Amino acid sequence: MNSQNFVIIWRFVSLRRLFRCILTLALLSIAIGGAGEVVYAEERTTAPSPYASGALASGSTLSLLPITANLPRPVEKPPLPFSAPLVGPLIKRAPMSDIEKRTTAFLPTDEFLARLTPIEMPDEDRWIRVDLSEQVTIVYENGKAIRGFVISSGLPRTPTVTGEFRIRMKVRSQTMSGGSGASYYYLPNVQWVQYFYGEYAFHGTYWHSDFGRPKSRGCINMTNADAKWLFDWAGPVWDGKTTWFRSTPDNPGTLVIVHE
CA distance 108 to 97: 26
Task: Tell me which of 21, 203, 208, 259 is the catalytic residue.
Answer: 203
Report which of 185, 222, 188 is spatially closest to residue 205, judged by C-alpha positions.
Answer: 222
Please, are residues 144 and 155 in contact by the beta-carbon 8 Å criterion?
Answer: no
Residues 6+ apart with CB under 8 A from 97: none
For residue 73, CA distances in Å to 14, 35, 38, 64, 113 come to 47, 18, 11, 15, 40
**CA gap 157, 180 in Å, rounded:** 15
- 21 a catalytic residue: no
Residue 128: closest CA among 260, 36, 258, 25: 258
Segment 142-146 long-range contacts (CB within 8 Å, at least 24 positions apart): 145/108, 145/113, 146/108
* Neighbour count for residue 97 (Cβ, 10 Å): 7
Continuous H helices in the chain = 3-33, 110-115, 224-233
In the set 21, 208, 219, 259, the catalytic residue is 219
Annotated catalytic residues are 203, 219
